[in-house]
């Protein structure tokens, strides 16, 4: 048992002793499946505080022959898998936290320091199998394998911190990638290599130095979707245990979306909400919003417009394939938006290739970033949104229309009205503050079409539901009639109480008063 070679299982032991522990040991069945195959190279990237280090502690506890972890996995999901006994504590594990090496090696070469201390660890266990002159890690492992046929599992935490924290040093980045390539690619001593970080593998030119890795990223987690965060079933169980409202939990922390699992929750925030017994901004409060603002303010054509569209509740199309997987090389707005997906500030629908703001917690972070300058017009709209909601709930259609005119004027330099979709974005932005009290749903399915916008009240808010229909170039009365004719309110299953039917129209020809509004109040039993 050493520092880097076969560390103990204390990290996973502490995780399982925590007040809230969600069993994600099922992931081990996948790593077992890929052991000693062409797919044994796995790079799993997720945002910060999404359980990356905890996963590596779990894998170390399971695979390392330096500890006995049978009791730790007793009753866990992996215990029932047919491969459980085959690999339990059977391998030498080399566990590398690149963040630590980067901090400790500030006065010397990072790779030189890493190889020296890890080879020292190896020497204590296998020193009689390679000479004292060998200081290259890959060479030492080759000698060990040739004489023992022992295979190693490599767990690399914060693999991308060199790319994130040494952005200006391209030479160090290339040296680091060459080190990983030499250490891992086509080496017979590798049984499994599992790297985790925020960014996928760095690209140079047309090819990656680490092209043997399969990527499991926020743009596509493949078979690891359910291990990226908490699932709906897991969060429902926690809400029952801690007597927390599941609907409000979803509005705050749900929204990360994959091909199979459409509802993945931020695990850090869910745990904090349960322990603190309250909904707040837990994940984004661990980092200043300056980092988000830097990317929001980048001068790429269409970036500001896309951000405003997402603030208004829309999804925007993003090409994620041009991203170079670093935090410095940006050529288009799509590169910026793709980075925000990897950082967790945006969610991504891989089927539609669209990005969007996932939940209320992240939405607040965008608002914080805009509040310090550069987004004056948008901030005026957001600040006026509370009064707009009050007028809507009071049924004051004239005031609502006037407020929408002002909101449109403020953002006209960023948003252009072309159709009902762009109108819907502006309306969503104008009603920004409503999300404190409502679940905001664009294109709500009704069975007879889609209601443009539905505001479903969150529990304990004591507010009526709102069904909003938008018309571009037609009358507000036409919009209201469509709500009635298509019986949109009948689709609000499980809701009973007051509903406001809101018809809103926009006419480019009427410059004095472009928006009109009608509001009708009904009761659903």
460-516 pLDDT, tens digit each: 788 999 999 998 888 999 999 999 998 888 888 888 889 999 999 988 776 667 899
157-171 pLDDT, tens digit each: 999 999 888 888 888
Q: What is the pLDDT of residue 12?
A: 97
pLDDT at 9 over 70: yes
Q: Who's near 147: CB < 8 A, 6+ residues apart?
A: 129
Average pLDDT, the chain: 91
Instruction: Indicate the pLDDT class of residue 53, thresholds 50, 70 and 90.
Output: very high
Q: What does the pLDDT average to over 134-146?
A: 95
Q: What is the DSSP string of 252-299?
A: HH--B--SS---EE-HHHHHHHHHHTS----SGGGS-THHHHHHHT--
For the chain, percent of residues with pLDDT exceeding 70:
96
Q: What is the pLDDT of residue 205?
A: 56
Q: What is the pLDDT of residue 425?
A: 83
333-348 pLDDT, tens digit each: 999 999 999 999 999 9
Structure tokens of 123?
């020497």
- Scan for tokens 């245990």, then name that residue: 241
* Burial per residue of 68-107, b for 16 or more beta-carbon CB atoms within 10 angstroms, e otherwise: ebeebbeebebeebeebeebbbebbbbbbbbbbbbeebee
| Cα torsion angle, 246, 249, 251, 254, sign | negative
User: How far from 81 is each of 78, 85, 227, CA to CA, in Å?
Assistant: 5, 9, 17
What distance lies between CA 308 and its chain's CA centroid?
19
Q: What is the pLDDT of residue 62?
A: 98
Cα separation, 421 vs 501, in Å, equals 19
Q: What is the pLDDT of residue 208?
A: 67
Neighbours of 439 (CB within 10 A): 17
178-215 pLDDT, tens digit each: 999 999 999 999 999 999 999 998 766 545 678 999 99
Cα separation, 232 vs 253, in Å, equals 11
Q: What is the pLDDT of residue 153?
A: 98
Cα separation, 267 vs 361, in Å, equals 13
In residues, how long is the chain? 525
Q: What are the structural domains, with CATH classification, of the chain?
A: 10-216 (3.40.50), 226-374 (no CATH), 376-524 (no CATH)
Q: What is the pLDDT of residue 501?
A: 95
pLDDT at 284 over 80: no
pLDDT at 288 over 80: no
Q: What is the pLDDT of residue 349?
A: 96
Q: What does the pLDDT average to over 439-455?
A: 81
DSSP for residue 458 = P
Q: What is the pLDDT of residue 157?
A: 97
Structure tokens of 109?
């070469």
Q: What does the pLDDT average to over 318-332?
A: 90
pLDDT at 372 over 70: yes
DSSP for residue 206 = T
Q: What is the pLDDT of residue 209?
A: 78
Cα separation, 255 vs 269, in Å, equals 13
100-136 pLDDT, tens digit each: 999 988 766 899 999 999 999 999 999 899 998 999 9
DSSP for residue 202 = P
What distance lies between CA 332 and its chain's CA centroid?
21
pTM, full prediction: 0.93
What distance lies between CA 72 and its chain's CA centroid?
29
Question: Which of 254, 191, 230 lies closest to 39 in space, CA to CA?
Answer: 191
3-state DSSP of 379-422: HHHHHHHHHHHHHHHCCCHHHHHHHHHHHHHHHCCCCCCCCHHH
Please provide residue 42's backbone torsions phi and psi, each rounded to the nearest 5 degrees: -125, 125
Lowest mean pLDDT among 142-151, 251-260, 416-425, 445-454: 416-425
212-255 pLDDT, tens digit each: 999 999 999 999 999 999 999 999 999 999 999 999 999 999 99
Q: Is 443 helix (H, G, I), strand (E, B) or coil?
A: strand
């Amino acid at each position: 048992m050493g520092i880097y070679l076969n560390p103990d299982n204390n990290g996973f032991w502490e995780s399982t002793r925590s007040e809230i522990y969600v069993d994600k040991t099922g992931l081990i069945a996948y790593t077992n499946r890929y052991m000693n195959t062409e797919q044994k190279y796995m790079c799993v990237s997720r945002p910060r505080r999404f359980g990356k280090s905890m996963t590596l502690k779990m894998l170390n506890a399971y695979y390392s022959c330096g500890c006995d972890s049978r009791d730790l996995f007793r009753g866990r999901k992996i215990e029932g898998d047919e491969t459980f006994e085959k690999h339990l504590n059977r391998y030498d594990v080399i566990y590398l936290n690149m963040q630590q090496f980067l901090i400790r090696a500030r006065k010397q070469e990072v790779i030189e320091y890493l190889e020296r201390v890890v080879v020292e660890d190896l020497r204590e266990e296998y020193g009689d199998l390679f000479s004292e002159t060998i200081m290259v890690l890959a060479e030492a492992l080759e000698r060990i394998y040739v004489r023992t046929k022992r295979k190693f599992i490599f767990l690399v935490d914060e693999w991308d911190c060199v790319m994130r924290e040494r952005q200006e040093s391209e030479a160090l980045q290339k040296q680091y990638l060459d080190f990983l390539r030499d250490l891992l690619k086509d080496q017979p001593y590798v049984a499994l290599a599992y790297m985790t970080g925020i960014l996928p593998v760095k690209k140079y030119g047309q090819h990656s130095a680490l092209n043997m890795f399969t990527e499991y990223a926020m743009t596509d987690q493949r078979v690891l979707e359910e291990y990226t965060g908490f699932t709906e079933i897991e969060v429902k169980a926690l809400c029952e245990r801690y007597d927390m409202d599941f609907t409000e939990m979803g509005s705050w922390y749900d929204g990360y979306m994959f091909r199979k699992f459409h509802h993945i929750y931020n695990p850090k925030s869910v745990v904090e909400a349960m322990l603190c017994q309250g909904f707040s901004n837990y994940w984004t409060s661990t980092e200043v919003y300056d980092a988000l603002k830097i990317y929001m303010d980048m001068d790429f054509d269409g970036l500001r417009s896309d951000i405003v569209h997402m603030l208004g509740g829309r999804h925007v199309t993003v090409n994620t394939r041009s991203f170079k997987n670093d935090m410095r090389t940006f050529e288009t707005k799509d590169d910026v938006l793709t980075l925000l997906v990897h950082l967790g500030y945006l969610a991504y629908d891989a089927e539609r290739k669209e990005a969007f703001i996932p939940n209320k917690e992240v939405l607040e972070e965008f608002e914080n970033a805009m509040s310090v300058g550069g987004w004056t017009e948008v901030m005026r709209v957001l600040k006026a949104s509370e009064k707009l909601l009050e007028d809507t709930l009071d049924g004051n259609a004239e005031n609502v229309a006037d407020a929408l005119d002002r909101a449109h004027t403020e953002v006209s330099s960023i948003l252009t009205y072309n159709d009902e979709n762009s109108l819907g974005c502006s309306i969503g932005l104008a009603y920004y503050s409503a999300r404190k009290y409502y679940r905001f749903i664009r294109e709500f399915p009704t069975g007879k079409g889609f209601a443009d916008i539905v505001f479903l009240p969150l529990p304990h808010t004591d507010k009526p539901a709102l069904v909003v229909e938008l018309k571009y170039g037609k009358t507000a009365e036409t919009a209201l009639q469509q709500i009635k004719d298509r019986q949109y309110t009948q689709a609000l299953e499980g809701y009973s109480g007051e509903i406001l039917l809101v018809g809103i129209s926009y006419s480019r020809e009427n410059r004095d008063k472009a928006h009109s509004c009608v509001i009708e109040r009904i009761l659903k039993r």
